Structure 1
Amino acid sequence: MGSAREALLDAAYEAIVAGDWTGARMADLAARAGVSRQTLYNEFGNRDQLVAALVLREAERFRALTGQAAREAPGDVGDATAAAVTAALTAALDNPLIKATLTDDTSGLLPYLTTRSAAIMDVFREDSIAIFTERWPEPAEHPEVRAEVGWISETAFRLVISHLIVATEPVETTSRHIAEVVRRLMRDLTTT
């Protein structure tokens, strides 16, 4: 069933990118994927669960990209953050699903980046915490402080999403600014 699931996610992706999401019926999506409508319902239950799964699949792709960028970046936690943010925002500029989410008001997908973004945030949280503590080991030495690193990770995530939705400066500038926020929060965390 794994291939049917991917085919259905691909069909949803294609419908969204083509601007057909709003009018697409479950039967249309199933036909586009080459499976029965019942298979679609068995895999996802409903349209909301299908799009939620698609969003999580895309988030995993971004997590792999940003995690690799952060781990390959030389330097401190800020440098790793800047590399990850640059990778995320640059990839988002060319990502058809992100473009459709931000430009098609009728698709109903924008909440997955805003009010319904908790699941996406969860995808990035553990990776971010690991990278932050690799690059700034002091929290690992203070267990009561280490818990706050998750909050710093969430703050960085929210800043990236905000800049993705309303870009006010070049990607490199945004990356440097978010990196500096992370550095300051980590520094403040370890000096209190």
Structure 2
Amino acid sequence: MGSAREALLDAAYEAIVSGDWAGARMADLAARAGVSRQTLYNEFGNRDQLAAALALREAERFRALTGQAAREAEGDAGAATAAAVTAALTAALDNPLIKATLTDDTSGLLPYLTTRSAAIMDVFREDSVAIFVERWPDLALRPDVTAEVGWICETAFRLVISHLIVATEPVETTSRHIAEVVRRLMRDLTTT
């Protein structure tokens, strides 16, 4: 069933990117994936759940990319953040799904970056906290600090999404600014 799930997610991706999402019926998406309509309903339940699963799959791809960039960055929490933000925003510039989400009101995915972004935010917050704890193991010794790191990571995520939706400066500048926010917020946590 895993391959049917991926095929359905791929079909939804193609429909959104091609601009067919608004007019595509569930039966059309199932046919595009080479499965029955019932299989689609069994796997996702409805169109919103299919869109949510697609958004989460794309978030996981970005999480892998940003996590690798943060882990490979040398320096402090700001440097790790700058590397992750640069990777995310640069990849988003060329990502057909992100482009369609931001430019096509009928795709229905924009809320998964904004008002329905809790699941995606959880993915990035948890991974970011794990990266910071890997790099600064003393953070894990104090649960109150770990919770604070989670809040800082969530704040950075929200800033990235905001800049993704309305880019007001070049990627490198945005990355540097968000990194400085994280650096200042982390300063007290990593020096005590």
- What is the TM-score normalised by the length of structure 1? 0.95
How far off its partner does 1:137 sit?
A: 4.4
Name the structure 2 match of 1:140.
Answer: 140
Q: Is contact 2:16–2:107 with CA below 8 Å preserved after alignment?
A: yes
Aligned mates of 2:47, 2:179 — CA distance in 1: 37
Cα distance, 1:85 vs structure 2: 0.3
Q: How does 1:1-192 map to 2 (within 5 A)?
A: 1-189=1-189
Change (3 A) 1:76 1:191: closer
Relative to structure 2, which stretch is displaced further, 106-115 or 157-166?
Answer: 106-115
Counterpart Cα distance in 1 of 2:131 and 2:122: 15
| Contact kept in structure 1, 2:136 and 2:190, CA below 8 Å | no
Give percent identity, aligned residues only: 92
Cα offset, 1:189, TM superposition: 4.2
Shift of 1:146: 2.0
Task: State the alpha-carbon separation in 2 of the partners of residues 110 and 28 from structure 1.
Answer: 22
Gaps (5+ residues) in structure 2? none
**SS of match in other structure, 1:29:** helix
Q: Determine the C-alpha separation between the residues in 2 that align with 1:76 and 1:153.
A: 14
Q: Which runs of 5+ in 1 are unaligned?
A: none
Distance in 1, Cα, partners of 2:184 & 2:137:
15
Deviations 1:80-120 (CA, angstroms, capped at 9, x unpaired): 10000000000000000000000001222111100000000
How much has 1:190 moved relative to structure 2?
A: 5.3
Contact 1:16 1:97 in 2 (8 A): yes
TM (normalized to structure 2)?
A: 0.95
Deviations 1:149-175 (A, max 9, x none): 110010000000000000000000100
